Structure 1
C-alpha cells in the first residue's frame, strides 16, 4: 500500500507523494492540517485514510521516531502578579536522573510565569547546542509559548519586536534571545496538556516549583 499526503491547510494545499514534501508545506504554518491517504495502482484512493490532526503533533511524532531528543520545560510563579510576594523558577526535564535536568530560580527580570517559561526553553536550547544537537522536540503546557513561537514571532520579527499597536513586545529580551537560539537548533514546539498525568510534564513542573522556592526578591 502506497500512501500520499493531502494538505488541506498549509503553504500550498494539494496532494504530495512523500511525507517530507508534505512537511515542507505544513511545518511552522499556523493551524495547518493534512491527511494520509492509502493509494493503489488499480483503483486510486481507497478507504484506508486517516486525518493526521494538528500538524505540530504529527511533526513531533515524526521527529521522535527519527530519534530526535525530547525535553520537557515548565515555568512556575508562586503568587503570580502580587508585587513583593511572587517567586518564579523554571524546570527542564530530560529524563529520570539525567545530569542536565534543571531546577533554578528566575534570575533576571520581573518574576512572572511567562518569563519562567521562556527561560526554561532558552536554557534547554543552550544545553542542546552544547551537546551538538541539530534538532529538538520541546514539550510544554504553555499555550502562550506555543502561539508566540509558532505564530506571532514571525510578525514581531518583521516589525522590530513591536506589537500591532506599536508598543514593545512583552519579554522582548527573552524572545530575541530565543529567536537567536532557533537559528542554531531546529525546534519542534509540541503543546501538551498540563496537570493530566503526563510524566515528563509533571517532572518539569516539580523542577520548576522547586526552583521557584529558591527565588530571592531582587
Structure 2
C-alpha cells in the first residue's frame, strides 16, 4: 500500500507579461511503485498561472484521495497562496484587502476545491539550484510550451 504520493511541479512561460505569452506546466507524481509525468501547454498565459496549473493537474491525477500528498514547488506564489492567503481570500469573497479581485481567481478556486478533498503538504524548493526533480519538472514544463497536454507513465 502506498504510504505517500510525492508531486514535483513547475510552470514556465515564454514572453511572460506580453501579449500572446505561451506557457507550459508539468507535474511528476511518484509513489512506491510508479512515476507519472504529465505536462501541457497553454496559450495567452503567465508564469504564475502555469505554476498554479501544474499543482492543479498534479493533484487531479491523484486517484487514492486517502493517501497523504507532499507537493514540491519552486513557486512562492503557490506556497504563500495556499499557506497564508487562501483562507483570507475566501472569507473576503475572493477580494484582496483593498477590495480588488484576486488575480487568477479561477485557478485558485479550482485548486481550493481539489485540495479540500485531499491531505496536501506544500514544500518550497529553490528553483534552478540542482534539485534533480525540480530540474526535471522545469525541463518538462519548458518543453510543453506550445504543446497540447501530454501524459507519460514510467515504472520505477
Runs of at least 5 residues in structure 1 that lack an aligned partner in the other structure: 1-65
| Structure 1, 150-159 or 206-215: larger mean CA deviation | 206-215
For 2:115 and 2:147, how far apart are their aligned partners in 1? Answer: 29
Residue 113 of structure 1 aligns with which residue? 47
SS of residue matched to 2:36: coil
Q: Give the total of aligned pairs.
A: 144
So what's the TM-score if we normalise by structure 2? 0.85
Alignment RMSD (CA, Å): 1.8
1:81-116 superposed Cα distances (whole Å, 9 cap, x missing partner):
1213x2101011125xx5621121026xx4100111
Structure with higher Rg: it is 1
Aligned residue among 194, 197, 200 for 2:130: 197
4+ residue segments displaced more than 3 Å: 131-134
1:152-180 superposed Cα distances (whole Å, 9 cap, x missing partner):
11100100110011111000001011111
1:33-72 superposed Cα distances (whole Å, 9 cap, x missing partner):
xxxxxxxxxxxxxxxxxxxxxxxxxxxxxxxxx9321110
Residues 62-211 of structure 1 aligned to structure 2 (within 5 Å): 67-84=3-20, 86-94=21-29, 100-106=36-42, 110-128=44-62, 130-211=63-144
So what's the TM-score if we normalise by structure 1? 0.62
Deviation at 1:214, TM superposition (A): 2.0
SS of residue matched to 1:100: strand
Structure with higher RCO (Cα < 8 A, 6+ apart) = 2
